[in-house]
A and B are shown apart, each in its own frame.
Chain A
Amino acid sequence: MKQFIGETNITNSIIGRVEKSNPESKLYYIYKNKCEYNKDTTYFLYDNSKDKINKNKNYFKLIGSSLQIKNHDIVLIQTSGNGTLLYENGKDDNTLIVTHNCNNECIMCSQPPRHEEDNYLSMNLKIVNLIKNQPNYLCISGGEPTIKWSDFIKLVELVNIKLPLTNVFILSNARVFSEYNKAQMLAKLAKDKVKIAVPLFSDTDDIHDYIAGIEGAFWETVNGLLNLHRVGISIEIRVIIMKQNVNRLSNLIYFIYHNFPFIEHIALMGLEITGNAKKNLNDIWIDPKVATSSIRNAILNANRRNMPISLYNFPLCTIPKYLWKYARKSISEWKRVFLPNCNECKVKKLCCGIFNTNIGVLQKNINPIL
């Protein structure tokens, strides 16, 4: 999440929504709860160094950040002056984290699970309550969001009530849904607005479990997928491509087609080299050039079977031109960079860019398309 720092006189950390005092003014308020001015619960936000600060009132002044905080964004401000942009108004890729814990230990995880008790429920509920304009999509993720089941359900429930027009995109390994009643509970709450994206690494348990770091993970995910379908929740499968599974991508497509023909979309994804992926890079890294023929055949096999398929996180210059039409601009703006020579590239506008964490490894593969 985007971070910023500033100067503040607050004595308790706050979560609030940024609001212009009036349409012409450059002065922003931060509303904590009710969206009306109240001298105790309203904070002044200054984002311009020339602004004159009224230090008699609660204030926060941004320093040295290029980050732009926009009207209706939701922020967390701590007494130390550290700020976090929790929710960006008008965007469809905002994510609420239920927990940083996970029941998998994936060898390529970009945000490895933290094994410590955390509690984001009240923050998440506050965020949902503060959202001004209902987004098209809101993502619920983790860690594994479903392992804190009651927090997860309370959050979905509130989104359902407060944001009836918003679709919920859940990133989950689906193992928890191997319990049918949990799938059923989610469906009862919000079947029509929920879509779930599930990582499935291989068509056999040995490879999947090795990647997921847990023995038995594969079959729980399989059962979870079946249960989610039984209750009518729509599912996308995400396949992160690495050395361990690259040679069986076509087999995986076949496996999905025959066992989960209800899958709505398959995303073949490139690694984000941070966290465990960075730690295990030598074990998992596959050069895009080497992976090309496997990816091509997997896409061909999906095409034949009318299965929608996309490529995420592959800069266009790292894959052959005939795969470009499957590549999506999948990398969030705040994680995405382009190299200086990308400015010469003809297809930069269509390109997902490069994870800022991947530059070191990918640099030699990046060549502008002229």
Chain B
Amino acid sequence: MKLNSQYKLLPFRFFRMDKKILLVNEVGEYYFIDEIPFKKLIKHQPLNNLDLLRDLKSRFFIADSNLHEYIELLAIKYRTKKSFLYDFTSLHIIVLTLRCNHKCDYCHVASISSYDRQFDMDIATAKNCVNTILNSPSNSIKIEFQGGEPLLNFETLKYIVEYTNEKNTQINKNIEYVISTNLTTLTPYQFDYIKKNNILISTSLDGPENIHNHHRKLINGKNSYQIVKEKLQWLIDEGYGSNISALMTTTSDSLTNIKKIVDEYIKLKLRNIFIRDMNYFGRAKINYENLKYSIFSFVKAYKEAFNYILELNKSGIYFREVYASILLKKILTPYSTGFVDLQSPSGAGISVAVYNYNGDVFVSDEARMLYPKGSNLFKLGNVNIDDFQTIFNSKKLKYIVSRTTISALPKCAFCVFMPYCGIDPIRNYDKYGTIDGSRISDRNCYKNRELFKFLFNFIGNNDEDIINIFWSWLSNKAISEIMITN
């Protein structure tokens, strides 16, 4: 056998876990290695263990011949991981209105409690939005309706769906619609339309009644929780459950009740939960003093919830934590995720664009909160004035992309989790005044590092049942379809 110890190292980063050292290569393939062989490896000393050598070759940490082929394959895998760049902007968020029937204290977009329709998107602007969106080179377009509460401007929503579908008969893109709604004003007529057009529903549920209603307040003083619950049950009874996902915003109230929140989701027959850290923009920024909690307590609560969710899955209930699923997809598969908030270069503008009610185009939802008070750095143009090229081929956007490639950022460049991670230039700008920000004691950086470590501990322990659960989340298959019972 020609296998020998004359090997070259391929690019990788490492991190000392509890018992072993985690290696991650440039394309996100990982390996756990013991301390002694690790020391030999980095000193290019002979590795006597044949199977270790084979493992390291097979997972692209070393090459002992055919370096050209190793690099070629790494390049293919790198392109696959970065395939979101080929697609260009595929998520297009349309703010149908700034108005909302809720007045949540943590609202990151600062909705307006008004009946004034001047904050609604008009038909002419909607038409220009669609024309701009369909100019995107991406074959798969996701149009997400947002607000405020988008149901309050349903006529424009209908116009957009119909005009898009009509235009699409000539260009044949895959178009997917999502509506981000609190559901409370949903009428049977609107639901019929949503169903007919296969519009996915993304809604908000913070947990049991007291937690949900504490922050999510209806302007008319009614019980938001009760109404959301009724509407959810109605939609699920109508068989629309698999098209609904719910997000929860973590508040200091939920930190100590995290299991109860999960129970609430299960009770309402939801199949997944996205446990989100608070996003201190808009009204949440104004109310920061009342709303603040430490990221340490968030991570602690997240882990508690996660372990609880694992137990539920082990007992046969299919239930998915969405953020973990996104991180696991990055770790366990050769693919990219399409999750725009954790991308390098950042997804701002090149993966997601936000169209405000008045036609202004921003690189993200939070970006419009910084305008005009803060900065117009993140405003790319206006669909009523500018064409696609002016908006998306702008110097501004190129500048953002060039500054948000994390392999070139301090700390990130040497972080073992870099191949999976990303950056949020808007948050950085708000907090640090620069789009590349800082990773020293940064909230997001801490959260992501902790969650990566947490997940890698499970992966390293390689408990068959837990790994099966992870894959069931990624494939949307029941565990029974994956497992092999002896």
Contacts and interface: CB of A to CB of B under 8 A. Distances in A.
A291 to B, nearest CB: 15
A303 B1 contact: no
B481 to A, nearest CB: 7
Interface in A68-95: none
Given A251-B58, A304-B467, A257 B334 contact: yes
Interface string A230-262: 000000000000000001100100110111010
A210 interface: yes
A257 B474 CA distance: 14
B460 to A, nearest CB: 15
Contacts of A26: none
B54 A303 contact: no
Of A205, A254, A305, chain B has the most CB atoms within 10 Å of the CB of A205
Interface in B459-486: 464, 467-468, 471, 475, 477, 481-486
Contact of B58 (A204, A209, A261): A204
Contact of B3 (A206, A251, A320, A322): A206
Contacts of A300: 464, 468, 482-484
B468 A304 contact: yes
B43 interface: no
Contact of A304 (B65, B73, B76, B471): B471
Interface residues of A, number: 31
A305 B484 contact: no
Contacts of B58: 203-204, 248, 251, 254-255
A309 to B, nearest CB: 11
Nearest to B335: A261
B169 interface: no
B79 to A, nearest CB: 12
Listed residue (B468, B477, B484) with the most chain A CB atoms within 10 angstroms of its CB: B484
A259 to B, nearest CB: 6
B217 interface: no
B267 to A, nearest CB: 29
Interface string A199-216: 000011111011000010
Contact size range, B? 20 to 34
A234 to B, nearest CB: 18
B484 A299 contact: yes
B334 A322 contact: no
B334 A204 contact: no
Contact of A305 (B57, B59, B80, B471): B471
A303 B484 contact: yes
Contacts of B73: 222, 226, 259
A226 B76 contact: yes
Given A226-B76, A300-B483, A304-B475, 15 more contacts: A204-B57, A205-B65, A206-B1, A207-B54, A209-B2, A219-B66, A222-B73, A248-B51, A251-B58, A258-B77, A300-B464, A300-B468, A303-B482, A304-B482, A323-B484
19 contacts: A205-B2, A215-B2, A219-B69, A248-B51, A251-B54, A254-B58, A255-B58, A257-B334, A258-B334, A259-B73, A259-B77, A261-B335, A300-B468, A300-B482, A303-B482, A304-B475, A304-B482, A322-B486, A323-B484
Interface of A: 203-207, 209-210, 215, 219, 222-223, 226, 247-248, 251, 254-255, 257-259, 261, 296, 299-300, 303-306, 320, 322-323
